[in-house]
Structure 1
Amino acid sequence: MCTHTPHCPSASSPAAEAARVVASHPEQGWSLLCNGVLLFEDTGELLPDGRVIAPRRLTAV
């Protein structure tokens, strides 16, 4: 999906969240990255192949 240079990390890369935002809807709590990842404000992700990455919540110490 990424057409700019340098190319963004792929959706399967550990750095996938570093891709550019192509659509942002903060009122709905999500952004679409150019690698096809849907990034949610709770840090959860939906990958282009349909896999779900659970939110990464910090625990209180």
Structure 2
Amino acid sequence: MCQHQPPCPPAHSADREAAHVVATYPEQGWSLLCNGVLLFEDTGELLPDGRVIAPHRPLGAGQVVTAA
């Protein structure tokens, strides 16, 4: 799918979000990356093979994750 040089990271790589945006629909809350990943405004992702990546927003300054 990607025609960029150097090519964008593939959908299965950890840096897949660095791919170029080919279509954006801010009113619907998602963008299509050139590697086929759908990136949602809540930082969730839908990969081309149907796998879902849960939202992964960074914590704000001073916030700490605690185990329940």
TM range (shorter): over 0.9
Query: Structure 1, unaligned stretches of length 5 or more?
Result: none
Alignment deviations for residues 10-59 of structure 1 (CA, whole Å, 9 cap, x no partner): 00010000000000001100000000000000000000000000001437
Indicate the RMSD between aligned Cα atoms, in angstroms: 1.3
Instruction: Give the aligned partner of residue 35 of structure 1.
Output: 35
Instruction: Give the aligned partner of residue 56 of structure 1.
Output: 56
TM-score with structure 1 length normalisation? 0.92
Query: Structure 2, unaligned stretches of length 5 or more?
Result: 64-68
- Residue 6 (structure 1) aligned with residue 6 (structure 2): yes
1:39 counterpart SS class: strand
Paired residues in the alignment total 61
